[in-house]
């Protein structure tokens, strides 16, 4: 309820169900490793429709949140494997930029995201210092995408899609932006305690 109230305070979501889906998804990031799979969230809407705002609000609560910006594939899966991070990928249409220019769609990031919705689908890489040594990385983690054009292929099928709409001009929420404060810190601290106390039961 505390997280839901934050979404109500900051966002005018297109469907009331998402005032429940977002808080439950945020809480679930603390337990996602217990499950075989965890759905992505696909924020799809025009420029200025609140996609980045939803991501910034969610990132205040989720487990080890990390927003990606021009990150290398190796740094991403190493971080996920070690920190179980919740990833936020804004302007996700750029993942298919090469394909839109007529090149082959062989993005390593897309392949990693396609594999990373299920647990224990490992990525193998050789060690630079010891080429004969093979390392295994688990790309499985909670991920939220935001884009104007939407996701494609398997990635879209593995996500809960939310159509975002621009706030009405008279809606004061449009001028509000979520930042870390005493309330959000208190909620996140409760989530860490909740996860530690209920891990076994879940």
Per residue in 158-171, pLDDT (tens digit) is 999 999 988 777 77
102 vs 111: CA distance, rounded Å: 18
Query: Which residues, at least 6 apart from 6, have a Cβ–Cβ distance to it below 8 Å?
Result: 57, 60, 61, 178, 183, 184, 187
On the CB side of 143, CA atoms within 13 Å amount to 28
Write the burial class of residue 7 (CB in 10 Å: 0-12 exposed, 13-18 middle, 19+ buried): buried
- Give the span between the Cα atoms of 8 and 17, in whole angstroms: 12
- Residue 158: per-residue pLDDT: 92
Please classify residue 129 by burial: count the beta carbons closer than 10 Å to its beta carbon, then call 0-12 exposed, 13-18 middle and 19+ buried.
exposed
The pLDDT-based confidence of 120 (bands split at 50, 70, 90) is: confident
Q: Which one has a higher pLDDT value, 97 or 44? A: 44
> What pLDDT score does 150 carry?
87
Query: For residues 70 and 97, which has the higher predicted lDDT (pLDDT)?
Result: 97
Which pLDDT belongs to residue 68?
81
Query: pLDDT tier at 99 (50, 70, 90 boundaries)?
Result: low
Of 122 and 200, the structure prediction assigns the larger pLDDT to 200
Residues 150-157, mean pLDDT to the nearest whole number: 88
Whose tokens are 């309330």? That residue is: 183
Q: End-to-end CA distance of the chain, in Å?
A: 19
CA distance 157 to 53: 23
Output the pTM of the full model: 0.87
């Amino acid at each position: 309820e505390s997280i839901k109230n934050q979404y109500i305070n900051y966002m005018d979501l297109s469907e009331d169900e998402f005032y429940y889906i977002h808080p439950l998804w945020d809480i679930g990031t603390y337990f996602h490793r217990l499950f075989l799979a965890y759905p992505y969230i696909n924020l799809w809407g025009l420029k200025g429709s609140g996609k980045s705002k939803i991501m910034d609000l969610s990132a205040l609560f989720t487990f080890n949140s990390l927003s990606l910006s021009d990150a290398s594939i190796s740094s991403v899966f190493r971080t996920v494997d070690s920190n179980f991070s919740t990833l936020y990928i804004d302007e996700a249409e750029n993942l298919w930029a090469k394909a839109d220019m007529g090149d082959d769609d062989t993005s390593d990031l897309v392949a990693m995201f396609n594999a990373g919705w299920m647990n224990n689908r490992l990525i193998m890489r050789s060690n630079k210092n010891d080429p004969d040594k093979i390392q295994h990385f688990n790309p499985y983690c909670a991920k939220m995408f935001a884009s104007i054009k939407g996701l494609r292929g398997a990635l879209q099928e593995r996500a809960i899609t939310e159509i975002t709409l621009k706030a009405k001009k008279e809606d004061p929420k449009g001028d509000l932006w979520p930042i870390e404060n005493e309330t959000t810190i208190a909620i996140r601290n409760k989530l860490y305690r909740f996860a530690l106390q209920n891990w076994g039961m879940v």
